[in-house]
Structure 1
């Protein structure tokens, strides 16, 4: 009898180890051990996520207008992929990031953020959705190596952000790299010699802030003269959200926003306030688990109205 129990115990251990090893292939891709449903059963329903941490739980709505990202996220949640992963990158006043598969069993000093599973996702950047506080978006590699802005297959971030005044919001939406280029062309034109003279005088006094103010005053003139748009004017909804709740408007139109925290915004603040190392990894591990349920679409719309 004792031998049978030992044999059964070893069998259970072996099965559990095989089940885990089959979940992640040698190249780091997450293997589906079974097919999971990623569509709602009732067309009048929608998805609602619950992301739980030791600091509390967040309720998150996923947008229908980003179907590829939504389906991928639901698939991973229903496979329990995110359970026990860490928020490995936390920047107070900016965002909290997680989903790196390497974080599941990472050493305390391990530098995280490079882990990936599956293929990158094609961008689904919808101008309707933006980076207000609580926005759920997929991380991605930046720079010229990713010109199509493809998303990570697993890593995501939730915006913490900060509140903006109307003036600072417009400032965050200004493309100063292009402003500098057009301003240089403007002051080379003899017609605008007085502006050039004023700019030079400010520089001689070391008044860099004054030079920037002068350039900003000239933006409407440059937009008209060169027929360009140098300020991405925020919509009314964006102005209200960024001034009332806060966010990270400089990320807009650069990353795919696929959802929104509708309950538990205070949990983001608690996580963002934790002490971190020089790589912005929390000194104390912050583990997550995510579940999904189907709820009436009408209920989801009511939740979204509260934070829009």
Structure 2
């Protein structure tokens, strides 16, 4: 009986160790610092696509080619790796991977400061670019600001009270909600976003000095540690 108990205990221990983390995390590294992003399980198509491209090394060497302070920083254009196009003054933002991703809008997921979201062209389905993304820097709003924004840019669509409070205290870009798919958020290193958003740029919002990135997947052990640190390890 004692041996059976020991065997069962060992099997349970091995199963616990082998159990995958609840969430996948990626690290974006630049000359302006690093940030770690948790990819949302609620948006599986966008999550899996970003993981796939990251495993392929797709983003390594691409640029943050469009930055607007108090708004967002955008990158992931494959053309930005091309030295004939990544010179200052050249227009970027039109490169793609020849496919789009269906929109994955969730009422509980919104454009608060630090979220990762998919860029897209103007299409009726609001399908996302297969590769280009942005990270929200955003700004804080007052109740009056939000009311004006709802009337002028959100077709009267209400902002839930809980989200409204976050837009007032943490910040974000509420007028993009339900228009662009949000699929992750910065958990450490938001100052990297602030530094990049503040760089000098040209009239097309392109940084005068190239801001290249490297994107890597965190290992299982690191993902588990972050889940535990963020209190997400026991959530289903």
Please classify the TM superposition score into its range, dividing by the shorter chain length. Answer: 0.7 to 0.9
Deviating 4+ runs (over 4 angstroms): 175-178
Determine helix, strand or coil for the equivalent of 1:83: coil
**Cα distance in 1 for residues equivalent to 2:154 and 2:88:** 39
1:92 pairs, out of 52, 57, 69, with 69
CA RMSD of aligned residues (A): 1.8
Partner of 1:104: 81
| CA displacement at 1:299 relative to structure 2 | 2.5
Partner of 2:41: 64
Question: Do the aligned residues in 1 keep the contact of 2:53 with 2:59 (CA within 8 Å)?
Answer: yes
TM-score normalised per structure 2: 0.83
Structure number with the higher helix fraction is 1
Partner of 1:17: none
| CA displacement at 1:170 relative to structure 2 | 2.6
2:141 pairs, out of 154, 164, 185, with 164
| Shift in CA distance, 129/276, structure 1 to aligned 2, threshold 3 Å | same
| Shift in CA distance, 73/300, structure 1 to aligned 2, threshold 3 Å | farther
TM-score normalised per structure 1: 0.64
Provide structure 2 residue ranges, at least 5 long, that are not aligned to the other structure: 1-17
| CA displacement at 1:88 relative to structure 2 | 0.2
Q: Larger deviation: 105-114 or 252-261?
A: 105-114
- 1:136-285 alignment runs, 5 A limit: 136-142=116-122, 146-175=123-152, 230=156, 232-285=157-210
| Shift in CA distance, 165/114, structure 1 to aligned 2, threshold 3 Å | same
Give 1 or 2 for the bigger CA radius of gyration.
1
Provide structure 1 residue ranges, at least 5 long, that are not aligned to the other structure: 1-40, 179-229, 304-308
**Cα distance in 1 for residues equivalent to 2:36 and 2:229:** 10
